[in-house]
């Protein structure tokens, strides 16, 4: 017996398109430097009414949650695994190039999140998730060097975070290349200083 093809409800499809347009508009405004986009600006860019925006998102917290998920999905899509079988120096270089690229990509969203995070459980959850992903990446890539040294793991993950990157890029006014070279030197020094087994 053949299963009849499923019909896509037109209203559901339109609703999903509207929801995606709102999230895309929110993320786009942040990427363009509008760190506190209003519901009015988001709705205008999405091409929807304010009523439509609020019918899809109960409040800004719900929109932050959806936008945070979208940013994490984009980050995951642009992540390129690095082989743990490479020599240490090559792993460090590849890792630092990738962290530089990813930190530059998330910078506008991270700056916007910093303004709202103390008051937003959704943004706090996404930050913790981001920290865990970086820690897991470091743990996997430098497993042979870290072994069971939790302090070394914390140090490597800590210097890799966007907050450290932003300090290098903004108040210290380093170029992206200078910040990447600083990160590479720091990670190299941390791994070189590990106690021999």
Give the closest residue to 22 by CA, choosing from 54, 124, 122, 120: 54
Assigned domain for 3 exists: no
Cβ pair 156, 183 in contact under 8 A: no
Look over the chain and give the mean of its residue pLDDT values, rounded to a whole number. 89
> What is the value of pTM for the model shown?
0.79
pLDDT band at 129 (very low <50, low <70, confident <90, very high): confident
Which residue's structure tokens are 């008051």? 119
Answer yes or no: is pLDDT of 190 > 80. Answer: yes
pLDDT tens profile 72-120: 788 788 889 999 999 999 999 999 999 999 999 888 888 888 888 888 8
79 shares its domain with 141: yes
Least confident of 14-23, 24-33, 76-85, 112-121: 112-121
47 shares its domain with 128: no
d(CA 64, CA 62): 5
pLDDT > 70: percent of the chain:
93
In this structure, what CATH number is given to the domain that contains residue 15? 1.10.10
């Amino acid at each position: 017996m053949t299963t009849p093809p499923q019909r896509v409800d037109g209203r559901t499809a339109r609703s999903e398109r509207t929801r995606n347009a709102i999230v895309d508009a929110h993320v786009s405004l942040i990427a363009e430097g509008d760190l506190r986009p209003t519901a009015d600006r988001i709705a205008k860019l999405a091409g929807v009414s304010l009523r439509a925006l609020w019918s899809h998102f109960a409040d800004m917290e719900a929109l932050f949650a959806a936008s945070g998920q979208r940013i994490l999905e984009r980050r995951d899509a642009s992540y390129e695994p690095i082989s743990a079988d490479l020599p240490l120096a090559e792993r460090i270089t590849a890792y630092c190039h990738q962290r530089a690229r990813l930190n530059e990509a998330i910078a506008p969203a991270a700056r916007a999140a910093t303004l709202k995070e103390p008051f937003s459980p959704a943004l706090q959850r996404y930050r913790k998730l981001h920290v865990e992903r970086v820690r897991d990446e470091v743990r996997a890539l430098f497993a042979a060097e870290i072994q069971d040294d939790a302090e070394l793991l914390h140090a490597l993950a800590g210097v890799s975070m966007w907050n450290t990157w932003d300090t290098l890029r903004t108040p210290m006014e380093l170029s992206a290349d200078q910040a990447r070279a600083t990160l590479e030197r720091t990670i190299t020094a941390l791994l070189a200083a590990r106690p021999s087994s």
